[in-house]
């Protein structure tokens, strides 16, 4: 049976090891004049201005990932009240009262695990299992999303799976989900974590010799 949920970005599901998973998030800010849409489940990065933005390079770059966006709050200048959304539509799509900050809620724990859908077939479970402990990037749709659901279109790029340390995602397991574990079709779910995390002490895994220069 084809997988039922095939594109939704990165969904926080738990923590590495036995740490308590509070599903907690941290509040950051988005520049009120940021025209980029930042979708729920999209990877975000810190900027020198003290705000966050969408990741600019899905294949791994020089800016460490801060986490994944889960929601925003801004004050609407027309409605004169706060608005809560699961994504940031971009300043050109909303009326923002610049007297108030645009608040972003980010799943930013360096030990956070995420579920992500594969963008192509993984052949079968045995073949998919060989991808565990390898790295991967996101597909070309990573910075797009749905304005109806607010969800990111991000998927894990199957063709990118490799041991290359500079890739932004580490695959750590398969997901036991009968509705989404058809490995012969696109959309099978995988468990991942972010490589070279901005909030990690070393900004990457100890096993990555180039950890401090990798990222999103």
For 157-203, what is each residue's pLDDT tens digit?
999 999 988 888 999 999 999 999 999 999 999 999 999 899 986 55
- Please report how many Cα atoms fall inside a 13 Å half-sphere around the Cα of residue 155, on the Cβ side: 19
Quick one: DSSP state of residue 65?
Answer: B
For 120-150, what is each residue's pLDDT tens digit?
999 999 999 999 999 999 877 778 999 999 9
In a domain, 175, yes or no: no
Domain extent at residue 94: 26-107
In a domain, 147, yes or no: no
Name residue 215's beta-bridge partners: none
Residue predicted with more confidence, 86 or 63: 86
The full DSSP string for 27-59 is: EEEE-TT--S-B-BT-EEEE-TTS-EEE-S-TT
User: Please, is 33 exposed, middle or buried when counting C-beta atoms within 10 Å of its C-beta (0-12, 13-18, 19+)?
Assistant: exposed
Does the CA dihedral 69-157-174-122 come out positive or negative? positive
- pTM of the prediction? 0.89
In a domain, 143, yes or no: no
In a domain, 162, yes or no: no
In a domain, 39, yes or no: yes
Residue 59 has pLDDT above 60, yes or no: no
In a domain, 16, yes or no: no
Cα angle for residues 81, 87, 89 (degrees, 5° grid): 75
In a domain, 158, yes or no: no
Residue for token pair 């810190």: 46
Here the tokens at position 36 are: 């980029």
Here the tokens at position 95 are: 């009326």
> Residue 105, SS3?
strand
Nearest alpha carbon to residue 129 among 166, 175, 168, 165: 175
pLDDT of residue 152: 95
Quick one: DSSP state of residue 211?
Answer: G
Number of domains into which the chain is organized = 1
Here the tokens at position 94 are: 């909303």
In a domain, 124, yes or no: no
Q: Are 155 and 119 in contact (CB under 8 A)?
A: yes
Residue for token pair 């959304």: 85
């Amino acid at each position: 049976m084809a997988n039922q949920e095939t594109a939704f970005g990165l969904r926080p599901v738990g923590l590495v090891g036995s740490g308590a998973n509070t599903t907690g998030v941290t509040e950051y800010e988005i520049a009120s004049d940021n025209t980029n849409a930042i979708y729920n489940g999209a990877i975000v990065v810190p900027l020198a201005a003290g705000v966050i933005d969408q990741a600019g390079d899905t294949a791994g770059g020089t800016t460490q990932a801060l986490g994944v966006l889960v929601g925003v709050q801004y004050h609407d200048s027309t409605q004169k009240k706060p608005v809560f959304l699961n994504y940031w539509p971009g300043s050109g799509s909303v009326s923002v009262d610049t007297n108030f900050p645009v608040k972003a809620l980010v799943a930013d724990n360096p030990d956070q695990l995420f579920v992500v859908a594969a963008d192509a077939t993984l052949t079968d479970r045995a073949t998919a299992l060989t991808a565990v402990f390898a790295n991967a990037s996101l597909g070309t749709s990573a910075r797009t999303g749905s304005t109806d659901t607010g969800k990111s279109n991000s998927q894990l790029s199957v063709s990118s799976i490799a041991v290359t340390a500079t890739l932004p995602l580490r695959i750590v397991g398969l997901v036991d989900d009968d509705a989404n574990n058809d490995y012969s079709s696109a959309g099978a779910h995988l468990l991942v974590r972010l490589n070279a995390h901005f909030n990690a002490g070393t900004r990457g895994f100890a096993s990555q010799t180039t950890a401090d220069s990798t990222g999103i």
